[in-house]
Amino acid sequence: MSDLLERLRGRDWRMTAQRRVIAEVLDGEHVHLTADEVLARATARLPEISRATVYNTLGELVSLGEVIEVSTGRAKRYDPNAHHPHQHLVCSGCGAIRDVHPAADPLAALPASERFGFTVSEASVTYRGLCPECAARG
């Protein structure tokens, strides 16, 4: 069953058919959908759902901390795997995305002298390269 949906039940989040469908679409381990992809999949289950609702709900899930916003290309992608920290590896050829786990916390690599008085709270790393298929294809 939907982990995300489960967690949302625990909060005082008004549950509607639309929100349920969006949460279901987003559920899983290696999901990195764009808003348009979410809309397409949600529409398959609930044809009257509107684009604005998808954007609203995604925005809300992001501010609840249940979903992470990833911008690797043109459109933002939404990653429901928010409960365990990770980074992203992106293929420059086909755009495929994998969740990866660096050996060291990237935040720790930034010395105080390089923080310029900022209160630094987050570091996001995007690794880029070619996936095996794209590398083979030349």
Among 8, 25, 57, 131, binds DNA (CB under 7 A): 57
In the list DNA, a second copy, none, the entry touching 84 (Cβ below 5 to 8 angstroms by class) is none
Residue closer to a second copy, measured from CB, 10 or 111 = 111
Q: What ranges in 10-117 are assigned the alpha helix state H?
A: 17-26, 35-45, 51-63
Interaction residues for DNA, span 2-41 (CB under 7 A): 12-19, 34-36
* Run of H or E residues at 90: strand 87-91
**127 binding DNA? (CB under 7 A):** no
- When CB distances are held under 5 to 8 angstroms depending on the partner's kind, the choice from DNA, a second copy, none that residue 104 binds is a second copy
- Contacts of residue 66, defined as CB under 8 A and 6 or more positions apart, other chains included, come to 4, 7, 8, 80, 82
